[in-house]
Amino acid sequence: MTPKRQRLRVNCFALSLDGYGAGVDQSLQNPLGVHGEELHGWMLTTRTFKKMIGQDGGETGTDDDLAQRGFDNVGAWILGRNMFGPIRGPWPNDEWKGWWGANPPYHVPVFVLTHHARAPIEMEGGTTFHFVTDGIHAALKTAKAAAKGKDVRLGGGVSTVRQYLQAKLIDELHLAVSPVLLGAGESLFHGLDLRALGYRCVRQTPTEKAAHVFLQREAP
């Protein structure tokens, strides 16, 4: 049996109809930027998300299946710094430990891209945040080693995903396009010629709440 190739995946990446992956003005109050939470309506009601935040219940079905699938066979995560927190520039202290509290939903090593070094933070439940200051290629190499053969999931945000797309390093990208107009924010597509970079839409699975589409890079 051939072992599965280790991939860099983006899953459940929420976009507005007008192509924004986050609103403007990210802050402690608006982790996803202004109106950004509207992009995630399809996920917030799923059983997978409820479980992630320690609640019972939630809906099953395609949206939930796709939310769950995003966690399958993931051995490490990569996050842009803004996905880790709202702080910009040098770390003022070691107080900020991510958006999720003591037990974040990753449960594997998480590599945070930043220009500002910081010691790793071991959280409850198997998550350790590592801070990578030598760029996206180094982060991917380290994350793949840490994932021990499993896939690496790239969590975002928009700017980080764009950098990895531009470098042709993302193998699979699952976008969840919500029926919402943001009007402004961080555009995933603007100025990025995904077709020329070798990406194609290989599948779509629309639900009532989102148009799920799957992009893959063609073999070179």
Residue 168 CB, shortest distance to a second copy, in Å, is 13
Residue 50 CB, shortest distance to a second copy, in Å, is 24
Q: Tell me the residue length of the chain.
A: 220
Q: Which amino acid is at 129?
A: F
Angle between helices 158-166 and 135-146 in degrees, nearest 10: 90
> Is-contact 76 109, C-beta < 8 A?
yes
Residue 74 CB, shortest distance to a second copy, in Å, is 24
Of residues 14 and 152, the one with the C-beta less far from a second copy: 14
Residues contributing to the site for a second copy (CB under 8 A): 17-19, 35, 175, 177, 179-184, 187, 189-190, 192-197, 199-201, 203-204, 206-208, 211, 213, 215
Of residues 88 and 190, the one with the C-beta less far from a second copy: 190
Sign for the pseudo-dihedral over CA of 73, 77, 78, 81: positive
Q: Which amino acid is at 36?
A: G
Of residues 91 and 189, the one with the C-beta less far from a second copy: 189
> Is-contact 30 36, C-beta < 8 A?
yes
Of residues 79 and 182, the one with the C-beta less far from a second copy: 182
